[in-house]
Structure 1
Amino acid sequence: MTQKIEKLSAIVDGEWDETSHTNQIIEDPILQQKWKSYHLTRDLLRNDMSSDVTFDVSSKIADALENELSIVAPKRSWQELPIVSAVIPMLKQSGQLAMVASVTAMVIFGYQTYNQPEVTQPFTTAPPVIGPQGGLAPVSLQQTRSIEQDRMQQLLEQRRQINALIEDHQRQLKFKQVPVQNSDKDEQAKP
């Protein structure tokens, strides 16, 4: 069969001159189809196609549809239900937001922990100071009292300033509420 197709191709190309093969082409329907398709391809390649060429593929499509297996619609699973299909994206998004919040909290916690100044313990890291009794020097309570007194004075000063601002505000409100008397009323009142 392949030799017949090769001879047919040679005849179409003009390379074969034997007339004995033309009878085989006329008698064989497969070779007739090949003859038509080869000439159509040649005309397309040479731009010799006429505009009135029609292709009838409806019979081939009808045959293919007859041999086609029928498709039965599959049953819906629980995942394809409308309620589930609406809830699943919301759960996915909530999970993603929870993951982002967790990572953000860990980053903030890690940053704060990493950037804290080192707390040194004075008794273990400080060199021993030998006092009059031969051990560490006692801690004075005088220093903490002076710090507390300074803080108390700052707090009292802030309260005084706030009270002065409140009093000034109240005076301005009273000043705005006093009605301004018109000069016309004063003239009418004097008969």
Structure 2
Amino acid sequence: MQKEKLSALMDGETLDNELLNELERSSEMQKTWESYHLIRDTLRGDTSEVLHFDISARVMAAIENEPVRQTVPLIPESQPAPHQWRQMPFWQKVRPWASSLTQMGVAACVSLAVIVGVQQYNGQSDSSQQPEAPVFNTMPMMGKASPVSLGVPADASAGSGQQAQVQEQRRRINAMLQDYELQR
């Protein structure tokens, strides 16, 4: 009931002195009054003057309140003195190097297996498709050198096999030109 009266007071529909006195005394009513005004300003779009989105103080306080995790300081491995190094057995001298080389070798083998596996997997999918046409054809265009003049009669010696080959080459060239035009 109090919230309805508070809303009516805020809208200017009523002016109740008893409600104003209670608003002065009650901190809960003051918070409700403040939140109602914030809601009204938000609905009107007037929040730029009211709301300040500087949350740095709250973030700093949250960081301060966060529990501190204890970290164990790293203790560097002590290196043997030169006189101790000479007395150490061979395998103790080689062990750090061998462990590093073993780790790198395992990583290299795994990488090689992955690369070969991917290549084999991709190679199987290509074999099911039809072979592609050669990219570079070394056959001469006409099968032999021909005169450039229009007045020279054509050779009658050109067989039907050569003409079929020339027709096939022309068909391929036209297909390549069409592909080029479509790709532009």
Structure scoring higher RCO (CA < 8 A, sep ≥ 6) equals 2
TM-score normalised over the length of structure 2 = 0.33
TM-score normalised over the length of structure 1 = 0.32
- Bigger Rg, structure 1 or 2: 1
